[in-house]
Each structure stands twice: as structure tokens, then as C-alpha cells.
Amino acid sequence: MMERPLPAFLISYSDSSFTNPHEVVLPDEPPECTGSFTHMGAKYWGFETSRHRAMSVVEGEAAFQFNHDACHWFEIGLSAPARVERLTVSTRWFTGNQVPAVSILLLHGDQSTEVISRAPLQPDHEHVFEINPTLASRCVVMCYHEGGIARVNLFGQSVDETDQENLLEMATISHVSNEHYGRPDDAVAGNRGIDYMFGWESARSGFGEQALFHLAEPAVIRSIVVDTYLHRLNAPLSCHVYSLQLSAGNDIETCMAQRPRWAIEFADGLRIQPENFQAYMQQQRYLDEATADPGNFRISLLNESNSLWQPIISFGRLRADTWHRFDALEYNGVTTHLLYMHFPNGGIHGLKAFA
């Protein structure tokens, strides 16, 4: 029986304009796609970037700038930490557009080890790299400078297969701002089991979305995952997570009335915190403010210093088609209700909270 690669998934990537990059970590044999086409041209399996990563035009001059160290990249996550002993890199079916060379880093916690340094890749070829056993939970492939890779697999022995429970799966959900294309519970159930965009997605008219999760039991949150899998053009810009420990004498409606709220600040210092921020933005009421440049301002989320809502993630930057795991949380007290928000609108595939 052939050895199976370690279970893996794609965390993030710099670019994959021509393909679905999530295929690059699958154990499947890359299929021949000769004669198949998409709107982007010939179809390929795996990871393939745009061209001209190392070369750029010098603006205002009849010249080009070249950078030998420029690269595209992608990051792989292992489903469980493992001692990696071997890596395989396939350029199957890439006969003239393969990545010319790769460097590969294995990471675990804050430890990073370069196990392959700028190794050349051949077209339409299976490359095998034997390495010293290295503990890893993530892998970064640096692609010099551009091109395609059909598959990267890691082999070794898993050292921890602890299956954490997503607390949100047992939670009830209320106070949802928008469910135009999907609901928050779709994101709670999102585990990358499909190869198309799905999850909780709001309409474009939103200016700050929210959902309140009532946990089945009080818990101390240790980690949050926000996954924008396959949301390549419609991911939110940020996420914000707050904890509430509901005590006797407080009801949830009173607490929600005191939740963090969006505010805007103009260049001359004028600050406005609308009661209904979405209506304020949709109706362009900012143009009526007594300030020099009413159409240009900063937006931020404000939480009163004595608020019942404790920030778990005050501001989490979100990116397209990326697995975001937040471990360095701001609050480690008991949570009974978790308020998830993202801004301004868009879609997420997965949402998880671990104790």
C-alpha cells in the first residue's frame, strides 16, 4: 500500500489567477486537462500565478526593474502537527509554465526551518525531497519567480491528533444583521467540504454585520478561526469579536443596546457616532455634516471603557480566500455570549471558537 500524505489544507497564497489553488494540497493524481479551457485560458490543476513577478516597468522611464528575490508563495496547514520526513513537488502537465525553483519552510509555533533552498524544478516532473525529520504544523512554499505547481504533499508521522470542538456548533444565534446570501450557521458548519463559495454572506448594502452566539455553556475562548475559503472577491475587510458574561440583573437586549458601535471622524476632528450606522451610510447623511470635507473620513469601532463587552479580537484583518486563526486573544475570562462582527460586508465560509 502506498504511503498516504499528511492531511493538509491551503491557508493562504499570494496569487493563483489561473487556477483553483486549493487543489495543490490534494493527494489526488493531477488530471490531464489538455483541451479544456476556462475564461482564463487553458485549464490546469493546482497553483498557477500571474506573470512578471520579478519584472516591473520603471514609471516615467523607458526601462524595467528586476528583482532576483521576488517570489510568489503559498502556505499549507497540516490538520495535525507532524514530524515531516519527505516532501514531494509535482509540476505534472506544466510543460513550459512551471515554477522554475522553490524554497520551502516548515513552521511550528514561532520556529521556522528552511528545508529546501531554491531547488530547481523541471517541467512535467515529480520531485522528491528527503529531509531531516522536522516538527511542523505549517509549510510555506516560496515560488521563484512565478508559474505553476500541480501538487505539494508532505509525508511523516502525526504527533497530535486532538480534535477540538467548535463551541459555536452548540450555540444558538440571534441579532443577525443580514442573511441575504447565507446565514451565520452556514459558516459555523463550514469545513471546506465543497469546492464552491458558500457560507454566511451579506448584501453589499451592509455597513458592519453582526451575529450574537449564545453558548451552550460558559467557556474561556482560546482560539478563533475565520475562514474566507473561496471568497476571492467578496471577503470582508475585518472581523471583531467580543465576549459577554451575562450575569443576574442583566438581560440580553439591554446588553446589546450597549454593544460596540461604529463611529466616523473627519479630518478636522469632528466625530459622529450614529445610532443607526447602516442607515447613516446608505442615506449619505455624512454629506450634511458641518465639516470641510464631509465625503472623506475614518471609520472605527468604539467600545466604552466600562462596557460589559470585553474585546477578544478588537480588529482582525481579513483577506480573501484565507484561513485566519487568531490565538493571541485579548481577553481570557469566562464567556456566555460571543458577538461576532465583520466590516463592511461580504462573506465568510467558516467560523469557529475553541475553548
How is domain 167-260+303-354 classified at the CATH fold level? Jelly Rolls (2.60.120)
C-alpha cell at 172: 444558538
The most confident of the ranges 3-7, 157-161, 246-250 is: 3-7
C-alpha cell at 86: 519527505
Span(s) in the chain for CATH 2.60.120.260: 8-158, 167-260+303-354
CA distance 347 to 336: 25
Split at pLDDT 50, 70, 90, the class of 162 is low
Closest CA to 351 of 192, 125, 244: 192
Per-residue model confidence as pLDDT tens digits over 111-147: 999 999 999 999 999 999 999 999 999 999 999 999 9
Q: Backbone dihedral region of 32: left (phi > 0), alpha (psi from -120 to 50 degrees) or beta?
A: beta
- Which pLDDT does position 307 carry in this prediction? 87
- Which pLDDT does position 306 carry in this prediction? 80
- Which pLDDT does position 40 carry in this prediction? 85
Per-residue model confidence as pLDDT tens digits over 14-34: 999 999 999 999 998 999 998
CA distance 201 to 206: 10
Class of domain 8-158: mainly beta
Q: What is the mean pLDDT of the chain?
A: 95
Task: Specify the amino acid at residue 184.
Answer: P
- Which pLDDT does position 163 carry in this prediction? 60
Please, are residues 40 and 17 in contact by the beta-carbon 8 Å criterion?
yes
- pLDDT at residue 294 greater than cutoff 90: yes
Per-residue model confidence as pLDDT tens digits over 200-235: 999 999 999 999 999 999 999 999 999 999 999 999
Per-residue model confidence as pLDDT tens digits over 281-292: 999 999 999 999
- Which pLDDT does position 262 carry in this prediction? 97
Split at pLDDT 50, 70, 90, the class of 3 is confident
- pLDDT at residue 1 greater than cutoff 60: no
- Which pLDDT does position 160 carry in this prediction? 73
CA distance 156 to 50: 32
- Which pLDDT does position 161 carry in this prediction? 58
Per-residue model confidence as pLDDT tens digits over 239-263: 999 999 998 778 999 999 999 999 9
What pTM was estimated for this model as a whole? Answer: 0.93
